[in-house]
């Protein structure tokens, strides 16, 4: 088995302060340094004396025995000593490379605190500085020059039971553009959230960078750049690489292995999704994950406005992957309310870099043409707001400050409860801040953002907690549900199911406080509940391939979820020297 360890089928039960808890004994063939250097096996100074003697690590560790609880305190103290967020990111990645159980114990202890460090917004800065902060390789780096040999490269990965792959080619990292091989920080971060937020075991997750070069001249001239030093390869060679990659992944890990596309440029994202969605178990998080979390926020907002979605007119700032994905899912939701497809499309308008998307405008892509309506051309978002009178504006173009004070005030004058979603990441690219939205609408704005914002206290004394429309509310739960019932294809209905389930988890108290999403502190339970709903839908529509169908789906999902408690290593009876016996008293 990979990593040299196997789990015994039977389990031993021990009593803990929190009650009864099952412990799984682990056998490993590794010994000595190989144990202490393996992040999946390493427990630091929490190894018992029996384990140290049996595993050949006695003497390789200080003599004290320190529990995971005390280790957590030490990590927190070290974390607090870091000078800035990038330094904290590097520290946490080092911990992940050293002791995976402790890393996830830390992240799950306070998800709201640590998610902005391991993912947006800090991961954007980390990707920009990836060549500088690079320590240990994590995941697979497959280049355009490896064409014809991808299957053999996959053999180099130690794990055989991979359930989820996150892949990027680094061309459109967040709102930062082409970062080439430095974009590997995104799949690494996404899959860390699969575990922290969804409970998927990290050894079942594989981050992949498809390095086809970069058009970023600054990187090509940077001596610290870690990727291929040539322009991006496009056309037939690029497509052949993707075809070979998709087939190789499915051949090695099965047709039910989830392949998540992340941060591909618009020119490739839509066509690759269309090309592979009915052939493999795949989705594009920028298109479909963003869509689900945005629609969930809209559905939650409807409980404040007391209206139906089909009664709204929605204006997008941006017409790329995110906008198209959200718009498509909105039309599905409107159709479910009884509106025709044609009428639902008329409810959605888009403004891109050239202005309002209207019929007859030059150089419209196929995706944009679907949302082009009869109207005079308009260049500015401000004019479009005044003319179209939208009830909701959604920013997904990574244009910082696109929602000006005038636009926000106009939205407030047009609507009693204007819906304003500034969803672009990282924070520096947000269309407006939470404070600007609430201040310019006198606290009436219904706000959501892609990156976190601090609570805002209004002049009347109310404190509002902005809802963060982070994709982490969706993709870990989707991944958990899809892999849990072994789906082979992921339909759009899966994402609408996830969006509806997420919206229902928002409480009246959350809404009163300004939240359109459950608190991040509850993200693990949120993911489980989304996974259950997805499994129910899959079995109801004969999409699941896992049989027999689990009767209690929530219990099943929780049973396969990752546990951050240290495993116990199976050790044979060993006659301890008396001096070793004496050291057992030195425990923390």
Reported as a single tens digit per residue, the pLDDT across 458-493 is: 999 999 999 899 899 999 999 999 999 999 999 999
383 plus 343 within the same structural domain: yes
Does the residue 9 lie in any domain?
no
Kindly tell me if the per-residue pLDDT of 20 is higher than 80.
Answer: no
**Who's near 68: CB < 8 A, 6+ residues apart?**
43, 46, 101, 102, 105, 565, 566
Q: Identify the burial level of 70 via C-beta atoms within 10 angstroms of its C-beta, where 0-12 means exposed, 13-18 middle and 19 or more buried.
A: middle
**CATH code of the domain containing 89:** 1.20.1370.30
Can you give the pLDDT at residue 572?
55
Does the residue 377 lie in any domain?
yes
**CATH code of the domain containing 481:** 3.40.50.720
Active site annotation includes 190 = yes
Question: How much is the average pLDDT of 16-25?
Answer: 49
**Who's near 143: CB < 8 A, 6+ residues apart?**
210, 211, 212, 228
Reported as a single tens digit per residue, the pLDDT across 303-316 is: 999 999 999 999 99
Domain carrying residue 166: 116-280
Kindly tell me if the per-residue pLDDT of 2 is higher than 90.
Answer: no
Q: Of residues 89, 104, 119, 194, which has the active-site annotation?
A: 119
Domain final position from 533, 551, 574:
533
Higher pLDDT, residue 290 or 579: 290
252 plus 302 within the same structural domain: no
Q: Is the peptide bond before 129 cis (omega within 30 degrees of 0)?
A: no
Task: Quote the percentage of the chain above a pLDDT of 70.
Answer: 93
Does the residue 467 lie in any domain?
yes
Domain final position from 280, 303, 323:
280
Instruction: Give the angle 86-142-179 at the CA atoms, nearest 5°.
Output: 40
Reported as a single tens digit per residue, the pLDDT across 386-445 is: 999 999 999 999 999 999 999 999 999 999 999 999 999 888 899 999 999 999 999 999
| Residue 263 in marked binding region | yes
Does the residue 244 lie in any domain?
yes
Kindly tell me if the per-residue pLDDT of 11 is higher than 80.
Answer: no
273 plus 406 within the same structural domain: no
154 plus 50 within the same structural domain: no
- Per residue, the 3-state secondary structure of 179-242, as one string, reads CHHHHHHHHHHHHHHHHHHHCCCHHHEEEEEEECCCCCHHHHCCCCCCCCCCCCCCCHHHHHHH
267 plus 298 within the same structural domain: no
125 plus 106 within the same structural domain: no
132 plus 85 within the same structural domain: no
Average pLDDT for the chain: 92
Question: How much is the average pLDDT of 553-559?
Answer: 97
312 plus 294 within the same structural domain: yes
Active site annotation includes 119 = yes
Question: Which helix (H) or strand (E) segment is 141 a member of?
Answer: strand 140-143
**CATH code of the domain containing 144:** 3.40.50.10380
109 plus 128 within the same structural domain: no
Does the residue 8 lie in any domain?
no
| Residue 286 in marked binding region | yes
Does the residue 542 lie in any domain?
no
Does the residue 103 lie in any domain?
yes
Domain final position from 115, 136, 171:
115
253 plus 292 within the same structural domain: no
Q: Of residues 190, 429, 529, 553, which has the active-site annotation?
A: 190
200 plus 99 within the same structural domain: no
Kindly tell me if the per-residue pLDDT of 6 is higher than 50.
Answer: no
Q: How far apart are alpha carbons 448 and 437 in whole angstroms?
A: 10
152 plus 208 within the same structural domain: yes
Does the residue 558 lie in any domain?
no
Task: Report the domain count for the chain.
Answer: 3
């Amino acid at each position: 088995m990979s990593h040299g360890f196997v789990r015994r089928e039977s389990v031993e039960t021990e009593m803990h302060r929190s009650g009864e808890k099952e412990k799984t004994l682990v056998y490993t063939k590794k010994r000595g340094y190989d144990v202490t250097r393996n992040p999946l096996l390493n427990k630091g100074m929490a190894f018992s004396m029996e384990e140290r003697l049996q595993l050949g690590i006695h003497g390789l560790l200080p003599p004290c025995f320190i529990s995971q609880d005390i280790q957590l305190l030490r990590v927190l103290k070290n974390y607090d000593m870091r000078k800035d967020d990038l330094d904290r990111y590097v520290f946490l990645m080092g911990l992940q490379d050293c002791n995976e159980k402790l890393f996830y114990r830390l992240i799950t202890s306070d998800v709201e605190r640590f998610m902005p460090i391991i993912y947006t917004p800090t991961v954007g800065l980390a990707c920009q500085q990836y060549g500088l902060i690079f320590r240990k390789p994590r995941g697979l780096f497959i280049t355009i020059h490896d064409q014809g040999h991808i299957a053999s490269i996959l053999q180099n990965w130690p794990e055989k039971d991979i359930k989820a792959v996150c892949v990027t080619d680094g061309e459109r990292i967040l709102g930062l553009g082409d970062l080439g091989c430095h974009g590997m920080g995104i799949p690494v971060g996404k899959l860390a959230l699969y575990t922290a937020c969804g409970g998927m075991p990290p050894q079942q997750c594989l981050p992949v960078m498809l390095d086809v070069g970069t058009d970023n001249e600054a990187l090509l001239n940077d001596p610290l750049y870690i990727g291929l030093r040539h322009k991006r390869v496009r056309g037939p060679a690029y497509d052949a690489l993707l075809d070979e990659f998709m087939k190789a992944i499915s051949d090695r890990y099965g047709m039910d292995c989830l392949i998540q596309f992340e941060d591909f440029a618009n020119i490739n994202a839509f066509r690759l999704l269309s090309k592979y969605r009915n052939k493999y178990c795949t989705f594009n998080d920028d298109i479909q994950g963003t869509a689900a979390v945005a629609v969930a926020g809209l559905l939650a907002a409807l409980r404040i406005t007391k209206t139906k979605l089909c009664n709204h007119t929605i204006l997008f700032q941006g017409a790329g992957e995110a906008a198209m994905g959200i718009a498509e899912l909105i039309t599905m939701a409107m159709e479910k309310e009884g509106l025709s497809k044609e009428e639902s499309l008329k409810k959605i308008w888009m403004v891109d870099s050239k202005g309002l998307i209207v019929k007859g405008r030059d150089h419209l892509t196929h995706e944009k043409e679907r949302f082009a309506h009869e109207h005079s051309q308009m260049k500015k978002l401000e004019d479009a707001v005044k003319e179209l009178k939208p009830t909701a504006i959604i920013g997904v173009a990574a244009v910082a400050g696109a929602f000006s004070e005038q636009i926000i005030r106009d939205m407030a004058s047009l609507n009693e409860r204007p819906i304003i979603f500034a969803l672009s990441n990282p924070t520096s690219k947000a269309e407006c801040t939470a404070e600007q939205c609430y201040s310019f609408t006198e606290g009436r704005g219904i706000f959501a953002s892609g990156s976190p914002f601090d609570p805002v206290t209004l002049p009347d004394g109310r404190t509002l907690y902005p809802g963060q429309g982070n994709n982490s509310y969706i993709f870990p739960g989707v991944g958990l549900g899809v892999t849990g019932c072994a789906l082979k294809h992921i339909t759009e209905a899966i994402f609408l199911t996830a969006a509806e389930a997420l919206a229902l988890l928002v409480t009246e108290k959350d809404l009163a406080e300004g939240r359109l999403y459950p608190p991040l502190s509850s993200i693990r339970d949120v993911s489980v509940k989304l996974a259950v709903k997805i499994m129910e839908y899959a079995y109801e529509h004969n999409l699941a391939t896992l049989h027999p169908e689990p009767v209690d789906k929530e219990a099943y999902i929780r049973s396969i979820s990752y546990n951050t408690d240290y495993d116990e290593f199976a050790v044979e009876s060993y006659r301890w020297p008396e001096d070793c016996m004496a050291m057992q008293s030195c425990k923390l």
